[in-house]
Structure 1
């Protein structure tokens, strides 16, 4: 059986993490976001915002972690596996921040493909900044555009998940998976 690898992505404050948690509570297999872990580890080492201070190192750690998650997905026995962000998020964020990166960052994004991409648009009503989310809402809107464009540049058809309740958003995703995949 081939496990379908489904990426749920979106800029900060889009409701992505809540949606992923809901999917998991409903019995779906998920791979959780790792960027907050990378940020916290750096903070414990005295680096307040690793992405801002050492963006290539931060991005390299994210890409390594997401590639590891991709390989861990090979052991999944479920029909679907949801990822809270995928490898192309890394290059999309660097493009947003206008950070030059080597071609080696794109190679795993081209080699290891997901089956479907769902992007959540920024949602001002639920947006909040915190210690790990330092972007403004305006920046979140731009990040959304870069994410969408970034996945499309890797050859993906990107589904934009409408704003709404978590249940409605999950149903949109599950319905798309039934009809399109």
Structure 2
């Protein structure tokens, strides 16, 4: 769906901060499934954590991303116009993670059945702002490897990757909105 816009890229590259700025400006946003899953699993003692069982984590991220899309599509009011919805990561991210973790081939079918806007905004690796925290335990090298996989996965499934410049959060949001013609 063209109004569903993905912000993806390097873990720790400022995706969530950019999406939060878009929300602050009044746009509808969807929080990253991974962060929500980590919070839920840590609170419940669950094991679908990327550092415990990456495949289970990725399957949970796929399910959550599908649920997010379904909820937004059910709420869709044709009279409301085509206001964009900004996703902090998308199904391609989760499916690419599952394929990496398990070899299970899901990306092609999911990417074909559940489309987003053809422009995917990718935050590049940015070592100066990268941090680990209780929900992001992997190191910068793992984040780079994930980023490289996404740089291949998105274009392979018909998306145009738009690199987001390393600049202030406000300028990044302006860039995304301008590129979308908003």
Answer whether TM exceeds 0.5 for this pair.
yes
Residue 43, structure 1, aligned to residue 42, structure 2: yes
Match of 1:102 in 2: 104
The separation in 2 between residues aligned to 1:125 and 1:58, in whole angstroms, is 27
Residue 153, structure 1, aligned to residue 153, structure 2: no
Q: What secondary structure, in the 3-state scheme, does the structure 2 residue paired with 1:51 have? A: coil
Q: What secondary structure, in the 3-state scheme, does the structure 1 residue paired with 2:50 have? A: helix
Residue 14, structure 1, aligned to residue 18, structure 2: no
1:113 aligned residue (99, 112, 115): 115
Cα deviation for residue 51 of structure 1 reads 1.8
The separation in 1 between residues aligned to 2:48 and 2:90, in whole angstroms, is 21
Match of 2:127 in 1: 124
The separation in 1 between residues aligned to 2:67 and 2:48, in whole angstroms, is 23
The separation in 2 between residues aligned to 1:138 and 1:3, in whole angstroms, is 33
The separation in 1 between residues aligned to 2:32 and 2:170, in whole angstroms, is 20
1:85 aligned residue (82, 89, 94): 89
The separation in 2 between residues aligned to 1:14 and 1:113, in whole angstroms, is 24
The separation in 2 between residues aligned to 1:119 and 1:67, in whole angstroms, is 21
Give the stretch that moved more between structures: 102-111 or 25-34: 102-111
CA-based RMSD: 2.1
The separation in 2 between residues aligned to 1:177 and 1:168, in whole angstroms, is 14
TM-score by length of 1: 0.87
Match of 2:167 in 1: 164
The separation in 2 between residues aligned to 1:56 and 1:106, in whole angstroms, is 17
The separation in 2 between residues aligned to 1:3 and 1:148, in whole angstroms, is 20
Q: How many residues align?
A: 176
Residues 140 and 54 of structure 1, relative CA distance in 2, 3 Å threshold:
closer
TM-score by length of 2: 0.86
The unaligned stretches of length 5 or more in structure 1 are none
Give the stretch that moved more between structures: 46-55 or 17-26: 46-55
The separation in 2 between residues aligned to 1:37 and 1:177, in whole angstroms, is 27
The separation in 2 between residues aligned to 1:178 and 1:15, in whole angstroms, is 22
The separation in 1 between residues aligned to 2:111 and 2:31, in whole angstroms, is 18
